[in-house]
Structure 1
Amino acid sequence: MKKLVLALAAAAALCGAGAASAQTAYGQIGTTGLTLGYAHHFSNFNLRGDINFLDYSRNFDAGSVKYDGKLKFSSVGLFADYFVASQFRLTGGLFLGRDKINARGVAKPGSDVLPGEWVEGEIRSKDVRPYLGIGWGFGPQAGKGLSFAADLGASYGAYSTDYKVSPGMQAYWGNDRVQKERRELDDEVSKYKWYPVIRIGATYRF
């Protein structure tokens, strides 16, 4: 997270070096989690930087297995907006930081394997992911005060996986079964390289 904050600070410093004085703070919610950001405005484009974060957990039962799922987003977004109309824009940029999904299933009493044995899988994004999209809001000519902003686009990058089992599960399944499950997870995740980015929120122009 320290690197992410430094990257955002560098972007803010770069924006501050520009000649234009209009600035906007914003907050959004969407598929990248909760977002807090800053935009610096020029004649027909913006430079923006934001922090995205989400830490969500959910536990649930399915048959004889108890599942613990975790979703954690932690990234910085650096963007350039080009306005083709007063508020409509084209946006390109980067997401820096790693998002991940983790799930662990633990056998409960009465299952086919020893209670307490577990299987765990994790999916992780790349640390750098380019972004392309369109959006509404942050227009350089907009007046001061509260307004609305929305983004629609996608980030690109392959995802990595990790698959682990407890020693007891390894002995129960055997190495061939474990390797098969690992390959199936990796093969399924490898199909997806584009992540949809949909965000809406409020802005405040100073």
Structure 2
Amino acid sequence: MTKTNIALAVVGIVALAAPVAAQERAAEDSGPRSTVTAAIVGGTLGIGPELGFRINDHIGIRGSATFLSINGSASSDDTDYDAKLRLKSFGGMVDIYPFGGSFRISGGARANRSNAGLDAELSNGQSTIEVGGETYTAAQVGTLSGRAEVKKFAPALTLGWSGGNRRGFMFGFEAGALFQGAVRIREFTSTGTLRNDPNFRASLEDERRSLQDDVDKYKVYPILMTSIGYRF
């Protein structure tokens, strides 16, 4: 999606939100207003607590911490890896409510401590495994392990809906992007008989670079979160 298409999409969402927000604002004027929200959020960043403070009709701030562990798989050059993704981040957002209602445009940043562990070994029925373009036996390789990390600081931008600004239970959602940069694949290690062999170490580095090339293009992490909580 081009920058022009993104801008048009944002303009369209804002235009659609305006009349709904105006009706909502009129309904809220007759009820008790809220300034503090405590919620549980969940989605692509993980699951965790969130606290929000509505400064006035048009500005608010939020802080959250999210965690989650996920088991999955990855593949590079015919080598399959068992992957364990550990989501762990903390951050804050400044919310702008352009119509004074529930629709918000948010910007902020997160301290990103997420990482992934990668392990590969021969599965049942295999006698050899390819590492960095070279073929090795199970005894020579053992278990192949690596680690993937991201930048420790990542800006974020989202569009969202926070429910009516009245006391009581609330439900909200937001979508956007975390600009975390390219994932960094750290040095591979091995438990096999060739773990200290210079030629095998070179193959390990070739394998790491190949996997790094596969992930270099993924520099933006999608944010899709829902929340449920209470406004005090």
Classify 1:174/1:67 alpha carbon distance in 2 versus 1 (closer, same or farther; 3 Å): closer
CA contact (8 A) 1:66 1:107 kept: no
Matched, 1:150 2:173: yes
- 168-177 or 122-131, larger mean C-alpha shift: 168-177
Letter in structure 1 aligned against 2:119:
R
C-alpha distance after superposition, 1:143-169 (max 9, x if no partner): 111111101010112221114131535
Matched, 1:47 2:61: yes
Letter in structure 2 aligned against 1:32:
L
Equivalent in the alignment of 2:217: 191
Q: State, as a whole percentage, how many aligned pairs show the same letter.
A: 27
The structure that has the greater radius of gyration is 2
Matched, 1:122 2:147: yes
C-alpha distance after superposition, 1:52-104 (max 9, x if no partner): 11123469xxxxx9954311111112110000231110000001131111120
Distance between the aligned counterparts of 2:103 and 2:34, measured in 1? 21
Q: TM-score, normalised by structure 2?
A: 0.69
CA contact (8 A) 2:121 2:138 kept: no
Q: Secondary structure at the match of 2:218?
A: coil
Classify 1:99/1:88 alpha carbon distance in 2 versus 1 (closer, same or farther; 3 Å): same
Matched, 1:89 2:104: yes
Selected match of 2:206 from 171, 176, 180: 180
Equivalent in the alignment of 2:12: none
Task: Give how far 1:108 is off.
Answer: 4.9
Selected match of 2:118 from 103, 114, 121: 103
Q: Secondary structure at the match of 2:186?
A: strand
Distance between the aligned counterparts of 2:59 and 2:158, measured in 1? 15
Selected match of 1:162 from 186, 209, 213: 186
Give the CA RMSD over aligned residues.
Answer: 2.7
Letter in structure 2 aligned against 1:120:
S
Equivalent in the alignment of 1:202: 228
Equivalent in the alignment of 2:3: none
Aligned length: 181
5+ residue gaps in structure 1? Answer: 1-19, 60-64
Letter in structure 2 aligned against 1:94:
A
Classify 1:68/1:75 alpha carbon distance in 2 versus 1 (closer, same or farther; 3 Å): same
Q: Which has the higher strand share?
A: 1
Distance between the aligned counterparts of 1:81 and 1:138, measured in 2? 13
- 94-103 or 170-179, larger mean C-alpha shift: 170-179
Letter in structure 2 aligned against 1:95:
R
Letter in structure 2 aligned against 1:77:
G
